Structure 1
Amino acid sequence: MWFRDKFLHFLTPVTITALLATLVLLFSIKGETIVENPLTILWMAVPLTIQTVAIFALGYGASKAMGFTYESAAPTAMVGASNHFEVAIATATMLYGLSSGAALATVVGVLIEVPLMLGLVKFCVRTKGWFPAESNVDADGAEEENQGLM
């Protein structure tokens, strides 16, 4: 209880602030490289985009084929498609430094992944009707429909 109620409430803003500070630092260090080398960025962006969309499609399609509800299918596909660049950023900067090519790749990853994932979320919302509605069993054993908030 203490961990969830006290520590996480303290730690969450610290971790978010640290991640944002790292991103600002990386973008400020790598901004010139990104602007001066658009072809390099494109060479990194294309495979990341293809990978993310392919994994999302595989997860979303498999969820549909297995009869998942939308409330299970959408997060399953999104988590599967995520490249977890926050972990990559931390790893690249700790192992190779802020001025490394690995750090550049993580910056490009964030630049690609964030708008791409937002687009995939929009796609999920538009295709919610492809999936069966989530049903819950109430205390009397009768099923009731749950429309969800997404």
Structure 2
Amino acid sequence: MTFRGSVDKLFEPKNGNFLGLVQLTAKFDPDMQEHLRRIKDEMIHDHYLGKHIQNELIQLMGNKVQKTIIDRIKASKYFAVILDCTPDVSHKELLSLTIRYVSNGSTVPIGIYEHFIEFIEVKESTGKSLLDVLLDKLVTGFKFTSYQGPRL
């Protein structure tokens, strides 16, 4: 589901799910309703609903989800790493990092879980190169990165 739409303005068609939810919230919240009225009447210009704030929210939510997944993996006794490379449409080689683990029941119900962690751009897809990327990720830690895809 897309977060942003093709239009960045409130009360416009195709302005996306984020602004749509802000507008919906304003129907039931008088403070949000007043805030949106001031934006619409151009009484305020810094309203923190633009694409940069939306990107920051996506980044923060992604970091939280990824941290939760990594904590679950650390709590498990067994895990496996799944690495797969494929070029995107701009011919950049991307490594998809997925981890499968067995939960011991301490954080989530006992079972086998598999989570995609992130895409990592790699220069070459040899076994040694992929091992080096994986070891670097394990040493430096995982940080959520939003892959933007190729520029068309």
TM score, norm. by length of structure 1:
0.31
Give the number of the structure with larger relative contact order, counting CA–CA contacts within 8 Å between residues 6 or more apart: 1
Greater fraction strand: 2
Computing the radius of gyration from Cα coordinates, the structure with the larger value is 2
Greater fraction helix: 1
